[in-house]
Copies of this chain bind each other. A is one copy, B any other.
Amino acid sequence: MRIFISGLDGYLGWPLALHLTSAGHEVFGCDSFLRRRLVAEMGSQSAIPIATMEERIQGAKELTGDSITFREGDLQDYGFVESCLADFKPEAVVQLGQMPSAPFSMIDREHCLLTHQNNVIGNLNLLWAMRDVVPNAHLVKLGTMGEYGTPNVDIPEGFFEVEFRGRKATLSFPREAGSWYHQTKVHDSNNVNFACRIWGLRSTDIMQGVVFGTNTEWVGGDERLYTRLDFDEAFGTVINRFCAQAAISQPLTPYGSGHQKRGFLPLQDVMQCLTLVINNPPSRGEYRVINQFDQVFGVNELAGIVQEQAAAIGLDVKINSIEDPRIEAQEHYYKPDTDRLRELGYKPTPDIGPTVQIALRRLVENRERIQVSRAAILPRIRWDGGA
């Protein structure tokens, strides 16, 4: 299949390109390298050194014999988006080309607007270009479980049947996103749904849980093929950040009660899930929502798992809860459905422990890089705008 990946240089984009190329697909992609610049703005860097795109592509070619085609550019530039699709004529478009950090979007007005411009306008350009150039292609849009918030009922996959005052209807499940970043993903979901309705595009909107880990089967072998691993307060997701803290013997810092619950899945499972989604496209005009995660954990529970795996490799790590810089429910119900991926054949990694331990080992090898940017780990960005 001919597959286009926007955000090819990212944490998910690069290993996905390798994974799909290795499976025999033709992979094309683009990136504006925004993520590399923004992590630098946070005073941080990827804990694992990553190669340039040229080196990555050369490494991939040596591994698989196939070339990944890359173009540098921004989804906010319509001419660029249109020419990518026109030249490559993809059958699937995997939209990972977005600013992915909740705290980053909360810094101030400029960062809130950058997030809206980059994510919402970029995604609209992609929708219009698909309509004009590849209307039959399958848009695999990366959203987030965070779009739903933490409602006091089960979270279905996108839609639910409700009875209200004696009548029934199938409605979109309401979103209550918890940051400007998450809001942009809600705006995107609404826009993608509408594009499917009016233009007959087909899309899978993936409500993804929090991803963690460093390795997929192809990323492990060659240094040029490593994907990035962020640990700063903005771009480091919780398990990865705990692993980085453990690697430099800094106490793990759950925010607030530590009872906040979220859905998680390891990096290698993302590859498996996205492949299943790509191989099983929805019909023309269908807007399909999939909740993509494996298990639900509380934050303290995760800190305990990282502490335990750290101990197993000889690291003595403490846990120090700190004030929650976010405005979020501290105690809440959380039970999202996740049936669709199982129905497509998803076989989750049975135990997250080994994935965490592999990440810890990899981060210990790179502890100097974490050490030098350690000031970027603890939260300074507050949801209420306070200092």
Binding site for B on A (CB under 8 A): 78, 109, 112-113, 116-117, 120-121, 124-125, 128, 131, 151-154, 156, 160, 162-165, 167-169, 171-177, 180, 183, 186-187, 190-191, 193-194, 197-199, 327, 333, 383-385
Judge whether A167 and B154 touch: CB under 8 Å. Answer: yes
Judge whether B167 and A190 touch: CB under 8 Å. Answer: no
Q: Tell me the bound Cα distance from A117 to B124 in angstroms.
A: 12
Judge whether A167 and B153 touch: CB under 8 Å. Answer: yes
Question: In the complex where A109-B125, A112-B124, A194-B180 touch, is A168 in contact with B152 (Cβ < 8 A)?
Answer: yes
User: Contacts A171-B176, A175-B190, A183-B187 given; 9 further ones with Cβ under 8 A?
Assistant: A113-B121, A120-B120, A152-B167, A153-B162, A171-B174, A176-B193, A180-B191, A198-B384, A199-B385
A159, closest chain B residue (CB): B174
Q: Tell me the bound Cα distance from A156 to B165 in angstroms.
A: 10
Neighbouring B residues of A177 by C-beta, 8 Å: 190, 194
What are 12 A-B pairs at a CB distance below 8 A? A120-B120, A153-B171, A156-B164, A162-B162, A171-B174, A174-B174, A176-B193, A183-B187, A183-B194, A186-B190, A198-B327, A198-B384
Neighbouring B residues of A120 by C-beta, 8 Å: 116, 120, 187
Neighbouring B residues of A385 by C-beta, 8 Å: 131, 198-199
Question: In the complex where A116-B120, A153-B164, A164-B160 touch, is A172 in contact with B169 (Cβ < 8 A)?
Answer: no
Q: Tell me the bound Cα distance from A169 to B335 in angstroms.
A: 13
Neighbouring B residues of A164 by C-beta, 8 Å: 153-154, 156, 160, 162
Neighbouring B residues of A190 by C-beta, 8 Å: 175, 177, 183, 186-187
User: Which listed residue, B151, B174, B383, touches A173 by the CB 8 Å rule?
Assistant: B174
Neighbouring B residues of A384 by C-beta, 8 Å: 198-199
Neighbouring B residues of A78 by C-beta, 8 Å: 109
Neighbouring B residues of A171 by C-beta, 8 Å: 151, 153, 174, 176
Judge whether B128 and A153 touch: CB under 8 Å. Answer: no
A152, closest chain B residue (CB): B169
Judge whether A172 and B174 touch: CB under 8 Å. Answer: yes
Neighbouring B residues of A183 by C-beta, 8 Å: 187, 190-191, 194
How far, in Å, is A123 (CB) from chain B's closest CB? Answer: 10
Judge whether A116 and B112 touch: CB under 8 Å. Answer: no
Q: Tell me the bound Cα distance from A190 to B327 in angstroms.
A: 16
How far, in Å, is A249 (CB) from chain B's closest CB? Answer: 34
Most buried by B among A163, A169, A187: A187
How far, in Å, is A382 (CB) from chain B's closest CB? Answer: 10
How far, in Å, is A284 (CB) from chain B's closest CB? Answer: 13
Neighbouring B residues of A187 by C-beta, 8 Å: 120, 183, 186-187, 190
How far, in Å, is A185 (CB) from chain B's closest CB? Answer: 11
Neighbouring B residues of A154 by C-beta, 8 Å: 164-165, 167
User: Which listed residue, B113, B124, B168, touches A124 by the CB 8 Å rule?
Assistant: B113
Judge whether B180 and A333 touch: CB under 8 Å. Answer: no
Q: Tell me the bound Cα distance from A137 to B180 in angstroms.
A: 22
Question: In the complex where A112-B128, A120-B187 touch, is A198 in contact with B383 (Cβ < 8 A)?
Answer: yes
